[in-house]
Amino acid sequence: MIEFDKFTLDNGLKVIVHRDTSTPLAAINILYNIGAKDENPDQTGFAHLFEHLMFGGSLNIPNYDEPLQQVGGDNNAWTSNDVTNYYLTVPKENLETGFWLESDRMLSLAFTEKSLDVQKAVVIEEFKQHYFNQPYGDIWLHLRPLAYKKHPYQWSTIGKCIEHIADAKLQDVKDFFFHHYAPNNAVLVVSGHVETEEVKRLAEKWFGPIERRELTPRNLPVEPKQTEFRSLHLEREVPYDAIYMAFHMCSRNHEDFYKVDLLSDILSNGQSSRIFQTLIKEKNLFSSIDAYLTGDFEPGLFVISGKLTEGVNMQDAENAIWDVLNEVSATKANEYELQKVKNKIESSLVFSEISFLNKAMNIAQHEITGQAEDINLEVEKYNKVSTSDLQEMAQKILIKENCSTLYYHAKKQ
């Protein structure tokens, strides 16, 4: 059971405090309810660009990293299609330095043409390095628009194309900041060796004066139900053929999420899983293969991705995957098989709670998708899943007309 206190500032900033005296450190985690899905379809990649801009100096603090390092702190950030998360850790005695830094960049960034140009260059280089110059790097640039035709999940956090980043204007960036990165669009979680009253005092002192902002309304298009099989063939300079199969599924906070998550684990979690035993160990069709969920806040994807063993025919490999999927749809898993994956998940959740920083991130995500208290119900929700539930989910999701398949062929020498 993770215990915490909650309060909300007058400007709408939600604050959650989790006290963990097992560490001499403290973590400040700010989760902004803004991700790539909130971008203009003609100006994608802005949320990720902001992940970089937020370290380029704020209104009153030209260098974010230096003062944090001087007090023994560390920091980082990540962006997804749903949210943007910034976090830092400091010795508990230096907690106020973290409040000073984070509140100033929520107040306003030091918007300059020079800073924007520097960060645009960094992001463009990242785009090239990770998506074009890395084997299999452009998979999601093609798989997302194959699976999504309306919803903004059709583009990756890096953006649709480099031009969207290169063409970003300073005024566009300012508008994006002031309509999304606001106290009334964020959750602040402080965890570690902290006292709630002290956190409340610091939150009021540093974040309280920041005015709430007018947020851009979120009116996302609904992805129509997929009713026919989709496919795309690509040929690239890669060592082995690969296949990527994406099936539409529910959102992260839907009650069915736990059923689908356990279904993916039965298929591919560990060497005793069905996919490993059948497609790797028994038939030697794949050198690696995995089944996983995107875990999106809105209806996401169940993905099966695998690299074929050299010499294996793509059609044979795909047929073998469908044989495994059809089997899990036709017959119930046995109780031992289900209990095994439940135990793994419970163990994983318990271990994740050892880190005070992980707890801060997990609490923030539960709060932004519903309520933080739900973090203590995760194990119970997984334990309610039955073998009938798994079969029902397999029959509903793992079907041909709900599938988008990317065939990634290695270019012949």
Residue 38 lies in a domain: yes
The confidence score (pLDDT) of residue 353 equals 83
In this structure, the number of other CB atoms found within 10 A of the CB of residue 1 comes to 5
β-sheet bridge partners, residue 43: none
Q: What is the pLDDT of residues 307-329, one digit of tens each?
A: 999 999 999 999 999 999 999 99
User: Helix, strand or coil for residue 319?
Assistant: helix
Rounded CA separation 159/140 (Å): 11
The encoded tokens of residue 40 equal: 């203009």
Residue of 209, 207, 208, 251 lying closest to 365 (CA atoms): 251
Q: What is the pLDDT of residues 23-75, one digit of tens each?
A: 999 999 999 999 999 999 999 999 999 888 888 889 999 999 999 999 999 99
The confidence score (pLDDT) of residue 57 equals 87
| Whether residue 296 is found in the same domain as residue 181 | no
Q: How many domains does the chain have?
A: 2
The encoded tokens of residue 109 equal: 């960034």
> Do residues 30 and 36 touch, judged by C-beta distance below 8 A?
no
Average pLDDT of adjacent 10-residue blocks, the chain of 413 residues: 96 97 96 96 94 89 94 96 97 97 94 91 95 95 98 96 95 94 98 97 98 94 97 96 98 96 94 92 96 96 97 96 96 94 93 91 95 95 97 97 98 81
Q: The whole model's pTM is what?
A: 0.94
Residue 15 belongs to a domain with what CATH number?
3.30.830.10
Rounded CA separation 162/130 (Å): 12
φ and ψ at 208, to 5 degrees?
-55, -40
The confidence score (pLDDT) of residue 54 equals 86
Indicate the burial class of 37 (C-beta count within 10 angstroms; 0-12, 13-18, 19 or more).
buried
| Whether residue 285 is found in the same domain as residue 190 | no
- Name the residue range of residue 252's domain: 230-410
| Whether residue 150 is found in the same domain as residue 269 | no
The encoded tokens of residue 296 equal: 């999106």
